[in-house]
Chains A and B, each alone.
Chain A
Amino acid sequence: EAGVTQFPSHSVIEKGQTVTLRCDPISGHDNLYWYRRVMGKEIKFLLHFVKESKQDESGMPNNRFLAERTGGTYSTLKVQPAELEDSGVYFCASSQNLQGKAQYFGPGTRLLVL
C-alpha cells in the first residue's frame, strides 16, 4: 500500500511569489491534515479535511494560505504571496475516520522563501 506522498520535495521561491504544495493521502483515508515545522520549533497543525470539507482550520496562520481538497482525494496548499516567515517543512498526514486514530505522515515539502 502506498503511503502519503507530497510534491514537490523542495521549493525555493522569492518573497511575494506563489507556491502550491500537493499531498496525496493513503487510499481510503477520508481525513487529511496539513502541518508545518519552522526551524527550531515543534510541528504545528494547520488544518484538517474530512473528504472535501474543512473540518478544522484553526491553525492556518493567515489568509495568504489557501487549502483545497476538491473531490476528496488529493489536497493542495497554496501560499500567496509568500513571506520569509513561511519557510519551513510542510507535512501532510492522513488517517482513517475516527477521532484518535493514528495519522501517517508524508515526507514533507521543504519550502524556502528568500
Chain B
Amino acid sequence: QKEVEQNSGPLSVPEGAIASLNCTYSDRGSQSFFWYRQYSGKSPELIMFIYSNGDKEDGRFTAQLNKASQYVSLLIRDSQPSDSATYLCAVNPSASGTYKYIFGTGTRLKVLA
C-alpha cells in the first residue's frame, strides 16, 4: 500500500462544474496536508493546506479533511480551463521533527471548455 494514494486520472469535467479530487493516506497520525497544482514542466504551486478535520475554503477551492477515514479532498468550484493541471496531495508524516512531505502521484484534471 502506498503511503499517499491518488487516482491518476485524467478527471474530465465541463467548464463551470465542480471538480472533486481525492487523496488517502496511510499514516494515521499525520497532521498536515497540502494540495499543490502543477502545470506541465512547471514547479508545484501551493493551493491549500489544512490541519484540522472539516472544511477549509479559499475562493473557489475547498479542502476537506477526515482524519478518522484518512482522506483529504480538494473541491474546485466553477472549474475553468485554466484549472487543467496535475493536482498533487502531500502529507507531512506524524514522526516528531519530520518535516518532509510524502506525495501522491497526482491527479490530472482536464476542464473542458
| Residue ranges of A at the interface with B (Cβ–Cβ < 8 Å) | 4, 31, 33, 35, 41-45, 48, 55-56, 58-59, 91, 95, 99-100, 102-108
Q: Is the CB of A42 within 8 A of B106?
A: yes
CA distance A58 to B45 in the complex (A): 25
Q: Is the CB of B46 within 8 A of A100?
A: no
Considering only CB atoms and an 8 Å cut-off, how many residues of chain B contact the other chain?
Answer: 25
Q: Is the CB of A99 within 8 A of B44?
A: no
Q: Is the CB of A102 within 8 A of B103?
A: no
| Residue ranges of B at the interface with A (Cβ–Cβ < 8 Å) | 4, 31-32, 34, 36, 42-46, 49, 51, 88, 92, 96-106
Given contacts A42-B103, A102-B46, A105-B36, 15 further A-B contacts (CB under 8 A): A33-B101, A35-B101, A44-B103, A45-B101, A48-B99, A55-B99, A56-B97, A91-B44, A95-B99, A99-B96, A99-B97, A100-B32, A100-B51, A107-B43, A108-B43
CA distance A10 to B42 in the complex (A): 13
Interface residues of B, dominant DSSP? loop
Smallest Cβ distance from B84 to chain A, in angstroms?
19
- Residue A42 contacts which of B34, B96, B99, B104 (CB distance < 8 angstroms)? B104
Smallest Cβ distance from B72 to chain A, in angstroms?
14
- Residues from chain B with a CB closer than 8 A to the CB of A107 are 42-43
Q: Is the CB of A102 within 8 A of B49?
A: yes
